[in-house]
C-alpha cells in the first residue's frame, strides 16, 4: 500500500509535447519549476489522487531492461538526482517520438521527483510522469473601480489526471515497481503504457487474485446446465469468501467452493488448462486482494435474473434457497427462507 501523507515534491520539470504525426514538436524547459509550499501541496494532490489501487507494473524490454528508454533515464536520475532535469528532457523527447498516432493530443508533461514515499512500510524515492492533455475553461472575477470585470481563462483541471506513472526506486533488477494511470480514449492505442513506458503487470498478489477470479468465473460459466444459476452464484460466493483469507491456494478454492457440489476435480483440471493457455503459473499460496474481489464484474456472477421481472443477488445462505416447479402454473420458482427483512 502507498502511504501518501508524508510525500514531498523535491523537483518538478515541465515540457510541452506535441503530436509527431502533425509535426507539432516538443518544447523543453531550461530549468525546473520553482514551487512554494501551497502550490506544491496542490500539485501533489493532483498527481497522486488517481493512484487508488495496488495494481503494480514493472518495466520490460524484449532483450534487456537497460534498453527500455524510460527505465534507463529513471535509473540515471535515481543514481544522481542532480541529473534529474536533464533526464526529464530525455523522457520528454522520447515521449514525442512515441506520439505518432493521429489522435494523440498535444499536452504538458510533468516530471516529478518525490521524496519520502512510504510503500509497503519502506520509505523510498519515486519519479512521477504525468501528462495533461485536456483543458478546462475557468471564469475569473476581478474587482475594478466601481464594480467587477469578468474574463475567461483556459487551463489544466486539477480534478482529473489524464495519464500518469509512478516509478518507485525499489527492485531495480526486476524493472522497478511502477503504478500507472491511463484515462485515454481507445483511439490513441494505449501508447502511454505500451509504447512509451513498456510496462508489464507484476505477478504479485493483486495479479494472482485477478487471474484466479477470471478463471473461476470462466469455469463456472462453462459448467453444464445440471448446475442451475443459484448453485453457480453460491460457488462464486464461496470463491469470494475463500479469497478473503490470509492465505489462499487453488486447492483451498477447489475444496471450499467446488467440492460441495462435486466439481472440484473438474476445477483442478480446468486450472491446469487455464495456466497453460495463459502461459502463467499460480503460486502455491497468495493473499487475496479485496480490490479485485469487490469489482462489479465479480458481483454480477453472484446474480440470477428471472425473466425480465426479477434479479436476485445471492450473497450466501444457500441452505435457505429452494428451487421447484409449480405444475398448476407451469412455471419454475425459488423459495427463499429468512428471519427478518433489512
- For residue range 285-307, what is the model confidence (pLDDT) as tens digits? 988 877 676 654 555 566 778 88
String of DSSP letters for 276-332: HHTT----S-B---HHHHTSHHHHHTTEEEETTTEEEE--S-GGGEEEEEETTTTEE
For residue 54, what is its C-alpha cell? 495496488
- For residue range 247-269, what is the model confidence (pLDDT) as tens digits? 899 999 999 999 988 999 999 99
| Whole-number pLDDT of residue 296 | 43
Residue 87 and residue 230 share a domain: no
- Mean pLDDT, range 321-328, rounded to an integer: 86
- Rg for the chain, CA atoms, rounded: 26
Residue 133 and residue 31 share a domain: yes
Name which residue leads in pLDDT, 208 or 313: 208
How many Å apart are CA 342 and CA 46, to the nearest integer? 40
| Whole-number pLDDT of residue 324 | 85
Is 235:255 a contact under the CB 8 Å cutoff? no
Name which residue leads in pLDDT, 317 or 68: 68
Residue 241 and residue 142 share a domain: no
Query: Of 160, 154, 175, nearest to 72 (Cα)?
Result: 175
Is there a domain that residue 106 lies in?
Answer: yes
Residue 290 and residue 193 share a domain: no
User: What does residue 12 show for φ and ψ, rounded to 5 degrees?
Assistant: -140, 125
Is there a domain that residue 342 lies in?
Answer: no
Is there a domain that residue 74 lies in?
Answer: yes
For residue 184, what are the contacts with CB-CB under 8 A and spacing of at least 6?
162, 163, 190, 192
Range among 158-162, 226-230, 251-255 with highest mean pLDDT value: 251-255
| Whole-number pLDDT of residue 309 | 79
Residue where one domain finishes, among candidates 174, 201, 228:
201
Using DSSP, state whether 156 is helix, strand or coil.
strand
Name which residue leads in pLDDT, 127 or 160: 127
Residue where one domain finishes, among candidates 201, 218, 244:
201
Query: Of 6, 198, 169, nearest to 80 (Cα)?
Result: 169
Residue 213 and residue 173 share a domain: no
| Whole-number pLDDT of residue 189 | 59
How many Å apart are CA 301 and CA 235, to the nearest integer? 9
Name which residue leads in pLDDT, 168 or 154: 168
- For residue range 87-99, what is the model confidence (pLDDT) as tens digits? 999 999 999 999 9
User: How high is the mean pLDDT of the chain?
Assistant: 87
| Whole-number pLDDT of residue 182 | 87
- For residue range 178-207, what is the model confidence (pLDDT) as tens digits? 999 888 655 565 889 999 999 998 878 888
Name which residue leads in pLDDT, 255 or 338: 255
Residue 129 and residue 58 share a domain: yes
Residue 71 and residue 177 share a domain: yes
pTM, full prediction: 0.72
Provide the residue range defining the domain that includes 15.
Answer: 2-201
Residue 236 and residue 181 share a domain: no
Counting the structural domains of the chain, the total is: 2
Is there a domain that residue 105 lies in?
Answer: yes
| Whole-number pLDDT of residue 333 | 87
Residue where one domain finishes, among candidates 177, 201, 225:
201
Residue 164 and residue 40 share a domain: yes
String of DSSP letters for 106-150: PEEEEEEEEEEEEETTEEEEEEEEEEE--EEEEEEEEEETTEEEE
Please, what is the Cα angle at 230 between 226 and 236, to 5 degrees?
100
Residue 245 and residue 111 share a domain: no
Amino acid at each position: 500500500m502507498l502511504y501518501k501523507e508524508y510525500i514531498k515534491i523535491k523537483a518538478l520539470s515541465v515540457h510541452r509535447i506535441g503530436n509527431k504525426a502533425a509535426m507539432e514538436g516538443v518544447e523543453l524547459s531550461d530549468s525546473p519549476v520553482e514551487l512554494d509550499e501551497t502550490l506544491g501541496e496542490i500539485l501533489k494532490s493532483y498527481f497522486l489522487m488517481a493512484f487508488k489501487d495496488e495494481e503494480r507494473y514493472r518495466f520490460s524490454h524484449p532483450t534487456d531492461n537497460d534498453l527500455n528508454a524510460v527505465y534507463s533515464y529513471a535509473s540515471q536520475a535515481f543514481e544522481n538526482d542532480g541529473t534529474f532535469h536533464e533526464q526529464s528532457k530525455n523522457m520528454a523527447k522520447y515521449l514525442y517520438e512515441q506520439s505518432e498516432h493521429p489522435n494523440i493530443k498535444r499536452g504538458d508533461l510533468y516530471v516529478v521527483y518525490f521524496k519520502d514515499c512510504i510503500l509497503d512500510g519502506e520509505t523510498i524515492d519515486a519519479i512521477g510522469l504525468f501528462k495533461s492533455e485536456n483543458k478546462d475553461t475557468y471564469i475569473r472575477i476581478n474587482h475594478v473601480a466601481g464594480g467587477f470585470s469578468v474574463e475567461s481563462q483556459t487551463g489544466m483541471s486539477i480534478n482529473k489526471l489524464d495519464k500518469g506513472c509512478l516509478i518507485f526506486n525499489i527492485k531495480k533488477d526486476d524493472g522497478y515497481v511502477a503504478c500507472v494511470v491511463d484515462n485515454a480514449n481507445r483511439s490513441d492505442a494505449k501508447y502511454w503504457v505500451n509504447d512509451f513506458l513498456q510496462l508489464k503487470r507484476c505477478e504479485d498478489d493483486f495479479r494472482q487474485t485477478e487471474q484466479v477470479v477470471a478463471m473461476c468465473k470462466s469455469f463456472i460459466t462453462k459448467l453444464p446446465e445440471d448446475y442451475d444459476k443459484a448453485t453457480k452464484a453460491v460457488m462464486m460466493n464461496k470463491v469470494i469468501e475463500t479469497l478473503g483469507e490470509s492465505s489462499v491456494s487453488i486447492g483451498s478454492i477447489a475444496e471450499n467452493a467446488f467440492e460441495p457440489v462435486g466439481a472440484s476435480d473438474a476445477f483442478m483440471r480446468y486450472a491446469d488448462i487455464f495456466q497453460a493457455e495463459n502461459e502463467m503459473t499460480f503460486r502455491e499460496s497468495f493473499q487475496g486482494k479485496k480490490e479485485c474481489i469487490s469489482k462489479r464484474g465479480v458481483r454480477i456472477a453472484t446474480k440470477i435474473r428471472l425473466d425480465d421481472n426479477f434479479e436476485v443477488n445471492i450473497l450466501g445462505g444457500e441452505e435457505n434457497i429452494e428451487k421447484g416447479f409449480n405444475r398448476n402454473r407451469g412455471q419454475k420458482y425459488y423459495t427463499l427462507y429468512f428471519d427478518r427483512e433489512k
